[in-house]
Amino acid sequence: MFVATGSPCEICSSTHDLQLHHIESRGMGGSKNPQRHADENKAWLCATCHRQITENHWEFTRTETCLQVVEKATGKLVARRVFDAGFDVASYFQNLNSLEAGFEPIIHRVPYLTDEQLVELFQYLRSIGKQAWKAQAAILWEAKQRSVYGDRAWEAMGSTFGIGWRQAYNLARVWEVFFKDEEGSCNRLQTPLEESTWYVVAAGTKDPHFWLGYAEDQKAQNPSYSIADFKADLAIAGGIAEDPISARSRPCPWLQMYCTRRGEPVSREVCQTCNLY
């Protein structure tokens, strides 16, 4: 067993139980081919991620510009990271002091930041104010692409970035629905509606782009048109979609309802039939 010192898992960034993975397998009994032992063919992975690959659940590929993990059974992307050897991180953060060019240059380079730098940038943008929400959404979406935990990652992400998990989910979804281009970068950043809530509400509809356009038209015709009006119109039209996060087929085993009257946790079924209410 090979154990790394100081190197995080290249997939999930864990620093526990690290092992050396050969991207092109050495085969049984090892290999005399020097290319199989070259640094380019090695990757430090945690035991959990390594097991998913060796047991043939995940396909792991890495180039000079991208690392990608795909679930073999479904073809679904598990996690991905991108690289740019020419990216000057120091200059990038120095330029944050001057936002004359707007947030677009900042957003374009977000995918090349490390996990720690994503958190650092997110906290800096929070200090700027609400106008930075699109850049924050891009950061949260990028962080989600690096997580191997699917929808289970939202709570941990919220804790990491110092916000609620629902806010993290909403902003990342807004970025994916309205602003992400095919390469994961930014598209159509200049929009008539600047407040994030318009996009959060529209992203939760059955036809997000139609309803966002509808809100833009209504706001242009009537400046007093509010988000409350928008929600009312959606309710009348039946345009709100089922929440993919809330609509889980299996209830979370860690979530318990606590009844202050009974002084104990109770199930939703017991709560609904209780005669104490």
Q: Residue 139 corresponds to which tokens in the numbers above?
A: 């950061």
How far lies 51's CA from each of 17, 18, 110, 162, in Å? 11, 11, 30, 31
Among 265, 213, 268, 275, which Cα is nearest to 239's?
Answer: 213
Query: What pLDDT shows up at residue 4?
Result: 47
| DSSP state, residue 240 | B
Q: How many CB atoms lie within 10 A of CB 217?
A: 12
How far lies 275's CA from each of 38, 143, 256, 262, in Å? 70, 46, 20, 12
Query: What pLDDT shows up at residue 49?
Result: 95
In this prediction, residues 12-32 reach a mean pLDDT of: 75
Region of poorest pLDDT, from 27-36, 99-108, 175-184? 27-36
Strands 18-22 and 42-46: antiparallel
Query: What pLDDT shows up at residue 28?
Result: 44
Q: What letter represents residue 250's amino acid?
A: R
Cβ–Cβ under 8 Å, residues 187 and 177: no
Dist. CA 226–CA 233, nearest whole Å: 11
Dist. CA 18–CA 48, nearest whole Å: 9
Q: What does the pLDDT look like over 180-194, one tens digit per residue?
A: 876 555 666 677 898
Dist. CA 157–CA 255, nearest whole Å: 18
Dist. CA 54–CA 56, nearest whole Å: 5
Q: Residue 186 corresponds to which tokens in the numbers above?
A: 């930014």
Across all residues in the chain, what is the average pLDDT?
83
What's the alpha-carbon Rg for the chain, to the nearest Å? 23
In this prediction, residues 154-167 reach a mean pLDDT of: 92
Q: What does the pLDDT look like over 48-67, one tens digit per residue?
A: 999 999 999 999 999 999 99
pLDDT higher for 106 or 38? 106
Q: Residue 232 corresponds to which tokens in the numbers above?
A: 């009312």
pLDDT higher for 257 or 227? 227
Query: What pLDDT shows up at residue 185?
Result: 55
Could you tell me the pTM of the whole model? 0.79
In this prediction, residues 71-92 reach a mean pLDDT of: 93
Task: Say yes or no to pLDDT of 148 above 70.
Answer: yes
The helix (H) or strand (E) run that includes residue 98 is none
Cβ–Cβ under 8 Å, residues 163 and 153: no
- Provide the pLDDT confidence category of residue 276 given band limits of 50, 70 and 90: low
The helix (H) or strand (E) run that includes residue 22 is strand 18-22
Query: What pLDDT shows up at residue 103?
Result: 82
